Amino acid sequence: MKRAFFLEEQSFLKGPRARWRELKYTIGVVIQFTKGFRALHFVGSCVTIFGSARFKEDHQFYKIARELASELSQLGYTIMTGGGPGIMEAANRGAKDVNGLSIGCNIVLPHEQSPNKYLDKYVDIEYFFVRKELLRKYSFAFIVMPGGFGTLDEFFETVTLIQTKKTEPFPIVIMGLEYHKDLINHINMMAQTKTISTDDLKLILLTDSVQEAVNHIKEFSKTNIQLRNRYKPIWVLGESKT
């Protein structure tokens, strides 16, 4: 089944196809969104932590992500990740360290990414763009830890949506200044050459400090938005919080 989804997405991206196949794909996307809505509707206000799946437990970035998630959980946020290993596992683990709520929005890949063991709840999503929208929809803030293409994809798409006012502003924090130094230099160069505004630089907090990241999110919540109440499940729809 997972292989079939992968092949179908490859086929979709090759260009025009028979109309019935395009309709079938569209219906599949709607089903994926509905699956995500049902799974994540009751999780409350999330802070999503992105980063590489490849860092092991003894790595400094793993330890930072775990500490950061613990601090945020104690403020009442649900910790959301991509649900896999590495930084994702560290963040989910940090939430569980302090009995916080730990959620995963896992992407289905040809070589299966297994959900980590620190999740209270997770949902498997077949399409990257559906997964990204779900992560944004339920997130109050994004933390960008060191990672690869996927991490940067999430970061740039999200900051573009805020820049163009397609979504309301919310905190985006980049952590790991040495790791991200070339990225930071490139962003500053874009501001210097006016391909972005200097005001756009204010959309991102750059820091190595867990406490500064936590305080930034905490202060934003005071002046911009309050933690959302968790909706109650409707039993006749087969909904539950677990």
Number of domains into which the chain is organized = 1
Please indicate, yes or no, if residue 149 is contained in any of the structural domains.
yes
Question: What is the 3 state secondary structure string of 161-205?
Answer: HHHCCCCCCCCEEEECCCCCHHHHHHHHHHHHCCCCCHHHHHHEE
Query: Does residue 134 sit within a domain?
Result: yes
- Using the CB atoms, write b or e for 82-94: b if 16+ within 10 Å: bbbbbbbbbbbbb
Per-residue tokens: 184? 């930071």
This model's pTM is above 0.75 = yes
State how far the Cα of 4 lies from the Cα of 28, in Å rounded to an integer: 12
Structural domain contains residue 53: yes
Per-residue tokens: 84: 């896999």
Residue 238's pLDDT is what? 65
Number of neighbours of residue 48 by Cβ within 10 angstroms: 26
Note whether residue 211 is domain-resident.
Answer: yes
Please indicate, yes or no, if residue 242 is contained in any of the structural domains.
no
pLDDT of residue 147: 96
Q: What is the pLDDT of residue 11?
A: 81
Paired residues of 121 in beta bridges? 103
Q: Which domain holds residue 14?
A: 2-237
Full pLDDT tens readout for the chain, 242 residues = 556 666 777 888 888 989 999 999 999 999 999 999 999 988 888 999 999 999 999 999 999 999 999 999 999 999 999 999 999 999 999 999 999 999 999 988 776 568 899 999 999 998 999 999 999 999 999 999 999 999 999 999 999 999 999 998 999 999 999 999 999 999 999 999 999 999 999 999 999 999 999 999 999 887 765 555 556 666 666 666 65
The CATH number that applies at residue 146 is: 3.40.50.450
